[in-house]
Structure 1
Amino acid sequence: MGMRYAMRSLVVTVGVALAAGSGAVMSANACACGGVVSGDSSARVNSESAVLGWDGRRETVLMRLGMRFTGADAALIVPTPTPATVSAGSADSFRELARVTAPERVTEYDWFGSGSLGGDASSAAPGSGPDVLSQVQLGPLEATTLRGGDLTGIREWLDTNGYQLRPEVSATLDPYLREGWSFVAMRLTSAKPLSGALDPVRITFDSDRLVYPMRMSAAATTPQSVHLYVFSDHRVTRLDPDTDRHTVATEFAAPVGEPSDPDLRALAAGHDYLTELSIYIPDPATITSDFLLGPAATDTPVRDRLVSKEYVEILGLPAGYVLIVAALSLIGVLASVILRRRSAR
């Protein structure tokens, strides 16, 4: 969602469209997946983190949203290439990712006192409704897997079940429907105010490529930020046609071994090269394709460094200069002694 919008790579609200409430639908924050809306503007996504894993046949998305919610219903729609299985994830997965990708701390010793401390809807004919394949309750979230139907039928189902999307957002469902995709519809069912990170949600589906659904984000009205973690055999980058229109930064890339967190270990499935991508999309209208992820040109490691300087002093003076003066003085004394001995001969 607007990430505050981060997505994909395995916990990613793969193309999520947030919606909520009844009555006049008003826009709240936009999100990387399409939009955050609420009938009373009470639902806001403060952060979205995602992790991706793919074994060549099946993809897993682990998603965690940070939300502030005080109103009625809030919901999101996630397109998937095939019907998905939805289950609960663990916050421990994200704690481990934060630890593994944290900047390397380096101490540099300054002997000369130079440098500085730093670091780098209208009426319509009835449509064909979707098939409800499964429905699970994950804490305050209800997740329903949908397959089939047409745009009118999907809209009717969503409206009947308390999901209200802006027309421009629901219109972005149509390309996915025409391509035979399925959807996961998730909505908050708790009446209690929520503030902070929701428990992660795991979405697993068959796919012949590593894809992060993004086309619904074209309906957003503000710049989008997407944060992805991807486990693979190699360093990963975006390969889709929209790549050059967006800013893509590799924040971390390196082999990390087998994760200690069991959920991450299952997600990685033996693929131990972790890539962390930050993507900024200044104009959502430039989104015409989903994110396609594949091997980068090289496996060159990337990791931020936090450099701190430690000043070495002797008697309150830069140690480098003191030692140089001392060395020159010693050389002078030795030279004087040698000359005297030669003169004495």
Structure 2
Amino acid sequence: MGMRYALRSLVVTVGVALAAGSGAVMSANACACGGIVSGDSSARVDSETAVLGWDGKRETILMRLGMRFEGADAALIVPTPTPATVSAGTAASFTELTRMTAPERVTEYDWFGSGSLGGDSSGAAPGSGPDVLSQVQLGPLEATTLRGGDLTGVREWLDTNGYQLRPEVSATLDPYLREGWSFVAMRLTSAKPLSGALDPVRLTFDSDRLVYPMRMSAAATTPQFVRLYIFSDHRIARIDPDTNSQTTTTEFASPITEPTDPDLKALAAGHNYLTELSIRIPDPAAITTDFLLAPASKDVPVRDRIVTKEYVEILGLPAGYVLIITGLSVLGVIASVVLRRRSATSSREP
């Protein structure tokens, strides 16, 4: 008989999903990032997974989106404190991540048959558009890094380039722009139906703190769920003000061996501690900050376990009881022998 503590699915938010195309903007399917908008009402993000690494100066987010659509364009915008470099990752990274965070296998021996136990403000002139710093094609995904401009200028650039924002979504861009953040605009350029995971995308940018962009998720209309994986020297916890109004659970926190996958090895950058946080946001409209992450007060390990119970028996009986009874019997014999010898000695004395 064994006991299993299940390891939950891995989901992380990475930004805001937007529509591209000339048709009317449809309502968004809810997701942790705020929703995907498309002329195809069935278009949606099925899953979003990501891993974070930070060396104190430069942060990297490796993410993989699982998307489903029947031909309508779809897009995603991710705000970053400074301009990001965008490149392709590999699915092998997530395969190894699953292995690294797998439940610990433990064998328990039962001897008695019992049960188990941010940046500077931007001074852009009104209506100024963003600078296009780079544009790369990653399979069916086109990624453009944007810097500068104000809300009006950025809206005009996105509209001209086929991105259509709902008013409540575009409003969430403004705080980032005023603080001088940059953006990565990603859109699907293939008209072929898609159902499954896209190849992972890597975003790398300078940052003086470990931050995960979440303020755009205020456009979501249903409770949101986020899952973060962070490489560090210590267990990681949230320190942003929104922590108190959201539920954050540490699902995994443990020292690890160095990853063999090149992407994960670069993310770890010599750090030997991995933390997994699951976060529930009951009221996205109440979001006021991005996730800010820092070392926890103590490196208390957390890990799911698969416990295998093995019963130890002797002659079909619980070994513990057999050994106790045998031990008591031996002690009884020894005590009897000692008493007889003392009695015999006493009888011989004058």
TM class, shorter-length = 0.7 to 0.9
Corresponding residue number in structure 2 for 1:107: 107
The residue type paired with residue 92 of structure 2 is D
Instruction: Give the C-alpha shift of residue 43 in structure 1.
Output: 1.9
Instruction: Give the C-alpha shift of residue 128 in structure 1.
Output: 2.7
What aligned pairs does 1:186-265 form with structure 2 within 5 A after superposition? 186-265=186-265
Provide Cα deviations, 1:293-340, integer angstroms capped at 9, x if missing partner.
Answer: 112112232222222212223444333333334444555566667777
Instruction: Give the C-alpha shift of residue 41 in structure 1.
Output: 1.8
User: In structure 2, what is the Cα distance between the partners aligned to 1:261 and 1:220?
Assistant: 34
Instruction: Give the C-alpha shift of residue 284 in structure 1.
Output: 0.8
Of all paired residues, the percent bearing the same amino acid is 84
Provide Cα deviations, 1:213-240, integer angstroms capped at 9, x if missing partner.
Answer: 1100011111111111112222221111
What aligned pairs does 1:97-136 form with structure 2 within 5 A after superposition? 97-116=97-116, 127-136=127-136
User: In structure 1, what is the Cα distance between the partners aligned to 2:202 and 2:300?
Assistant: 30
The residue type paired with residue 59 of structure 2 is E
So what's the TM-score if we normalise by structure 1?
0.86
- SS of the residue corresponding to residue 229 of structure 2 reads strand
**Contact 2:71-2:194 within 8 A present in 1 as well:** no
**Contact 1:85-1:145 within 8 A present in 2 as well:** yes
What aligned pairs does 1:1-345 form with structure 2 within 5 A after superposition? 5-7=11-13, 13=14, 15-20=15-20, 22-116=22-116, 127-331=127-331
- SS of the residue corresponding to residue 302 of structure 1 reads coil
User: In structure 2, what is the Cα distance between the partners aligned to 1:50 and 1:207?
Assistant: 18
Residues 258 and 41 of structure 1: CA distance in aligned 2, closer, same or farther (over 3 Å): same
User: In structure 1, what is the Cα distance between the partners aligned to 2:18 and 2:91?
Assistant: 21
The residue type paired with residue 93 of structure 1 is S
Provide Cα deviations, 1:105-157, integer angstroms capped at 9, x if missing partner.
Answer: 111111222214x8xxxxxxx93322222111001111011122222222222
User: In structure 2, what is the Cα distance between the partners aligned to 1:266 and 1:223?
Assistant: 33
User: In structure 1, what is the Cα distance between the partners aligned to 2:29 and 2:340?
Assistant: 85
- SS of the residue corresponding to residue 324 of structure 1 reads helix
Instruction: Give the C-alpha shift of residue 78 in structure 1.
Output: 0.6
- SS of the residue corresponding to residue 176 of structure 1 reads helix
How many residues matched? 329
**Contact 2:235-2:295 within 8 A present in 1 as well:** yes
Residues 308 and 286 of structure 1: CA distance in aligned 2, closer, same or farther (over 3 Å): farther
User: In structure 2, what is the Cα distance between the partners aligned to 1:185 and 1:70?
Assistant: 21
Instruction: Give the C-alpha shift of residue 60 in structure 1.
Output: 1.0
Instruction: Give the C-alpha shift of residue 281 in structure 1.
Output: 0.9
The residue type paired with residue 151 of structure 1 is L
Worse-matched range after superposition: 30-39 or 98-107: 30-39
Q: Which has the greater radius of gyration?
A: 2
Residues 292 and 316 of structure 1: CA distance in aligned 2, closer, same or farther (over 3 Å): same
Instruction: Give the C-alpha shift of residue 102 in structure 1.
Output: 1.5
Residues 314 and 19 of structure 1: CA distance in aligned 2, closer, same or farther (over 3 Å): farther
User: In structure 2, what is the Cα distance between the partners aligned to 1:75 and 1:112?
Assistant: 60
**Contact 1:172-1:219 within 8 A present in 2 as well:** yes
**Contact 1:112-1:318 within 8 A present in 2 as well:** yes
User: In structure 1, what is the Cα distance between the partners aligned to 2:151 and 2:90?
Assistant: 34
Corresponding residue number in structure 2 for 1:10: none
User: In structure 2, what is the Cα distance between the partners aligned to 1:216 and 1:46?
Assistant: 19
Q: CA RMSD in A?
A: 2.5
**Contact 1:255-1:273 within 8 A present in 2 as well:** yes
